[in-house]
Amino acid sequence: MSVKAREDHPDKTVYVDWDNASTHEVEAVLRGAAGRLALLYLPTYSPWLNPIEILWRQFRREVTHCELFDTVQDLLTATRAFFDRCNHSPDRVRTIIGAHPT
C-alpha cells in the first residue's frame, strides 16, 4: 500500500490482500494506517483469486499445451495471435476469467 493511497483516503478503511508477504515489508504500512487497515489473508497459492492466472491457463490450453514450436518466433507469433483474439473479444475474456459482462 502506497503512502499516496493512505493520503487519498485518510478517513476510509483500507483493505489489503495479504499474500503472505513478509511482515517486514508491511510494517510501515501498518503503522501508517493506524486502525484503518483490514488485512484479507489469502492462501499461500490461490490462482483462482487472480483473474490473470485464469487467462494464463487458457493461454496454455490454446497456445502451448502439447505444442513444440520450431522457433521462438513461432511461439511469439502464436502468443500474439492469442492476445489479438483476446483484444478483439473482450466479452470472451470476461467469460474465461469469470467476470460479469459489461
Beta-bridge mates of residue 38: 15
pTM for the complete prediction?
A: 0.54
pLDDT confidence tier of residue 100, bands split at 50, 70 and 90: confident
pLDDT (tens digit per residue) in 19-50 = 665 665 666 666 666 677 666 666 777 777 77
Beta-bridge mates of residue 41: 18
